[in-house]
Amino acid sequence: MNCPVCDSPQEPIYTSGTQASVTSICTVLPTALKALLCGRCALVQTVHTPQISLGGFWSEYHGTQAQSTDPVYFKDGDKVVFRAEQEADLMEQMLGLAAGSRLLILGGVRSESARVLHERRPDLTVSAVVESPVYEERFSSFVKEDNLAVAEIPPSWFGSFDAVASLYDLAHEADPLSHLSAMIELLKPDGRLLIAVPNLATNTGDMVVANHFTHFTFDSLRHLLQTSSLAEVRLDENAFKGRLVAVATKAVASRHNLEPIQASTFDTIRRISRYWTEFGERVRAFESAQADEPAAIYGAGFYGAFILSQLRLPNRIDSFFDGNVGLAGKRIASIPVCAPSREGVSSPILYVGLNPDIAAAVGENLRRDGRPTFFP
């Protein structure tokens, strides 16, 4: 396969060791993942092997996201900033929205961010393109019916917006260059575009997210933007934790001196791919060393679901445990999520599925008393 941005050859850098993978909402899919790296522009893409239909998953995804609450982004003492507030800040400040501007938001997942911005700036005319009808209700309280489109963009919208905000939807696209071109066509001359995507360098789990098909580092996102009809390209890797945020201006004719991809970028990508390869191998080595007894996973988030996807015999897992009592009663791949008891987790075999930065500290409180326990 060749890179969809620069048409250069792509090399395989990661292949999951089982026929399973995990999504951003911790769904386990019956397909292996392969990650490909472009040796020229450093774009990373994942493909499913074998290729499967994600129709059912997307229905579940949109249903879950339409019901999700606004998570806390930052907390310091009494100060609490929610994610929607931070994203509204990004749109307002980085796009420099003048009074009366027409703003298009792509993606129903960020309806709460759009609502917060509307409350701050009622002078703006906000429109939205959503992927599924399940999001319509969340926009209908502040977006007029004529300004809300489901799946398909009305032809009259092209060339009509002062600003377009794309919050993470570019990560779901297998052909980011075509998607970016379509976003640019929605803008008026000199209109402004804002893009936010996961930053692979700091949000390393993004490489193995099954419903993210394109993964960006600072260098590869800059390269994509500089090859398009955009001027005043500016990237920020500190504006939002774990994300890259870019702003640029539509330009009919733009010529950029493409900045070289740093060797350290390729080193970082290969280090991340080795980490996830070795993580899966360690999971299976631990699994092979255990007796045929019931097992559990502590952690009902991404790391826990990833561990489940890497097991050769996932049917040995009879429960998930998580200290977040709000997750109790939920299921991951039909496996129930339970709250741990005060005495810890008594399962004969336990996999700790937490971010490695906190896994060891949490594990000390589980009172395992020498029973087999896997740590990431």
SS3 content of the chain, % helix, strand, coil (to 5): 35, 30, 35
Distance of CA 39 to the CA centre of its chain: 23
Q: Is the pLDDT of residue 104 over 90?
A: yes
Q: Is the pLDDT of residue 129 over 90?
A: yes
DSSP sequence for 180-194: HHHHHHTEEEEEEEE
Residue 342: which pLDDT band, with cuts at 50, 70 and 90?
low
Mean pLDDT for the stretch of residues 56-76: 84
Cα 187 to Cα 250: distance, rounded to the nearest angstrom: 7
Mean pLDDT for the stretch of residues 86-106: 94
30 or 53, greater pLDDT: 30
Cα 270 to Cα 210: distance, rounded to the nearest angstrom: 18
Mean pLDDT for the stretch of residues 297-324: 95
Where are the domains positioned within the chain? 10-59, 66-252, 290-374
SS3 of 271-336: the string is HHHHHHHHHHHHHHHHHHCCCCCCEEEECCCHHHHHHHHHCCCHHHEEEEECCCHHHCCCEECCEE
CB-based contact 309:21 (threshold 8 Å)? yes
317 or 131, greater pLDDT: 317
Distance of CA 69 to the CA centre of its chain: 17
CB-based contact 24:209 (threshold 8 Å)? yes
Amino acid in the structure at residue 35: A
Mean pLDDT for the stretch of residues 138-167: 93
Structure tokens at 308: 């489940």
CB atoms within 10 A of CB 333: 17
Structure tokens at 136: 């319509």
Structure tokens at 66: 């339409």
234 or 323, greater pLDDT: 234
In CATH, the number for domain 66-252 is: 3.40.50.150
Cα 218 to Cα 261: distance, rounded to the nearest angstrom: 9
257 or 214, greater pLDDT: 214
Cα 225 to Cα 231: distance, rounded to the nearest angstrom: 9
Residue 109: which pLDDT band, with cuts at 50, 70 and 90?
confident
For 58, residues 6+ apart whose C-beta sits below 8 A from its C-beta are 131, 132, 211
Residue 249 confidence (pLDDT): 95
Mean pLDDT for the stretch of residues 206-235: 95
Mean pLDDT for the stretch of residues 305-316: 96
Mean confidence (pLDDT) of the chain: 92
Residue 110: which pLDDT band, with cuts at 50, 70 and 90?
confident
Cα 26 to Cα 133: distance, rounded to the nearest angstrom: 23
Residue 340: which pLDDT band, with cuts at 50, 70 and 90?
confident
Residue 360 confidence (pLDDT): 87
Cα 23 to Cα 169: distance, rounded to the nearest angstrom: 15
Residue 1 confidence (pLDDT): 82
Cα 301 to Cα 70: distance, rounded to the nearest angstrom: 17
Architecture of domain 290-374: 3-Layer(aba) Sandwich (3.40)
Q: Is the pLDDT of residue 14 over 90?
A: yes
Residue 182: which pLDDT band, with cuts at 50, 70 and 90?
very high
Q: Is the pLDDT of residue 156 over 90?
A: yes
Mean pLDDT for the stretch of residues 322-341: 88
Mean pLDDT for the stretch of residues 189-217: 96
User: Are the folds of 66-252 and 290-374 the same?
Assistant: yes
Residue 325 confidence (pLDDT): 81
Q: Is the pLDDT of residue 264 over 80?
A: yes
Q: Is 327 left (phi over 0), alpha (psi -120 to 50) or beta?
A: alpha
Cross-strand partners of 337: 320
Strands 102-106 and 125-130: parallel
Task: Map tokens 């009366």 to a residue.
Answer: 100
Residue 343: which pLDDT band, with cuts at 50, 70 and 90?
low
Look at residues 295, 197, 186 and name the one whose alpha carbon lies nearest to residue 244.
197
**Cα-Cα-Cα-Cα dihedral sign, residues 177, 179, 185, 189:** negative
Q: Which helix (H) or strand (E) holds 362?
A: helix 356-364
